Structure 1
Amino acid sequence: MSDFKPIAAGFLAAGQIEPADIARAKQAGVVAVVNNRPDGEVPDQPPGDAIRAAADQAGLSYTAIPIGPNGFGLEDVEALASVLDTADGPVLGFCRTGTRSTLLWALVQAHRGRDLDEVAGEAAKAGYDVSPVRPAMEQLAARARS
């Protein structure tokens, strides 16, 4: 069972979840689940389709935005932004440890023009360091300002 760590209002991050965790997510008020882990990353991870089926059964939306070894792209940022914009409640992002989910959330916030230090502080309170994507955050924030 993975911990759901609140990153900011409307977004939680978690390490790998199991289909059984979906009921707990729903009890926590989550309305949308975002899988940031590619299927088959390790042999013992549950397949995304099993988590999708559990989310469907619980009435939660499910979106796969797999972040693999090539890292983050603008299409990933825009895909998460769309989920956050359309969700009528909290969104749970998960990957192996919650880091990729948090980094992607941070990139979305930068893309929206939020203060980068504030975004980094919110992630840090939950135990995540956004410094690996800070240069990309700065580029996205500069675009947002222009």
Structure 2
Amino acid sequence: MSELPPMVQLTDAFSAAPHPPTAAMAALAAAGFRTVICNRPDAEVAPGERAADMEAAARAAGLDFAVVEVTHDGIAPETIAAQRRALTELPGPHFGYCRAGFRSSVIWALAQAGERPTDEIMAALARAGFAVPGLKAQLDALAAGR
């Protein structure tokens, strides 16, 4: 069994990390995660690391799996809604991954707008080492629109 990938814990129910190997899925299940959320587009990864490969490994380990691609072109409202659905409809704790964990953390934050206080979301990102002060206004706007 592979070791757990390095990750940041944003809440008791959500952690983010760089793209793990498929072999890490069993370790994630053993650590108590119940759902894996792939935030990395297939165009960024090599064969064997694509979402279908990751999903097969996750399901073999007894994990639920969702794909919510976050590109470098910006995050559309539909992407935020898809992340929110994955976080609410699939069992937690959730493990999200992308290339480095940053996009998974940001899409988590955007999906939490209106569910958690903005200051709490920003504090979780800061504890994880992600300084994104420009995100606060966007979180407030999303929260106001919910």
- Same fold, judged at TM 0.5 (above): yes
- Is 1:14 equivalent to 2:17 in the alignment? yes
Please report the TM-score for the alignment, with normalisation by the length of structure 2. Answer: 0.88
SS where residue 131 of structure 1 aligns?
coil
The corresponding residue for 2:35 is 32
In structure 2, C-alpha distance between the alignment counterparts of 1:25 and 1:44, rounded to whole Å = 22
SS where residue 3 of structure 1 aligns?
coil
Give the letter for the 2:56 counterpart: A
SS where residue 130 of structure 1 aligns?
coil
The corresponding residue for 1:134 is 136
In structure 2, C-alpha distance between the alignment counterparts of 1:16 and 1:26, rounded to whole Å = 16
Q: Do 1:106 and 1:130's aligned partners in 2 also have CA atoms closer than 8 Å?
A: no
The corresponding residue for 2:67 is 64
Give the letter for the 1:93 counterpart: G
- Is 1:78 equivalent to 2:91 in the alignment? no
What residue ranges of structure 2 are gaps of 5+ in the alignment? none
SS where residue 42 of structure 2 aligns?
coil
Residue range with higher mean Cα deviation, 82-91 or 7-16? 82-91
Partner deviation per Cα, 1:105-127 (whole Å, 9 max, x = no partner): 11111143x22121110111122
Shift of the alpha carbon at 1:134?
Answer: 3.0
Identity of aligned residues (%): 33
Shift of the alpha carbon at 1:42?
Answer: 4.5
- Is 1:97 equivalent to 2:100 in the alignment? yes
Q: Do 1:32 and 1:90's aligned partners in 2 also have CA atoms closer than 8 Å?
A: yes
The corresponding residue for 2:57 is 54
Q: Do 1:34 and 1:64's aligned partners in 2 also have CA atoms closer than 8 Å?
A: yes
The corresponding residue for 2:110 is 107
In structure 2, C-alpha distance between the alignment counterparts of 1:45 and 1:139, rounded to whole Å = 39
In structure 2, C-alpha distance between the alignment counterparts of 1:128 and 1:95, rounded to whole Å = 15
In structure 2, C-alpha distance between the alignment counterparts of 1:50 and 1:33, rounded to whole Å = 13
1:132–1:43: structure 2 CA closer, same or farther, 3 Å change rule?
farther
In the comparison of the two structures, how many residue pairs are matched? 143
Partner deviation per Cα, 1:53-98 (whole Å, 9 max, x = no partner): 0011111111111111222111111112112112333000000011
The corresponding residue for 2:119 is 117
CA RMSD of aligned residues (A): 1.8
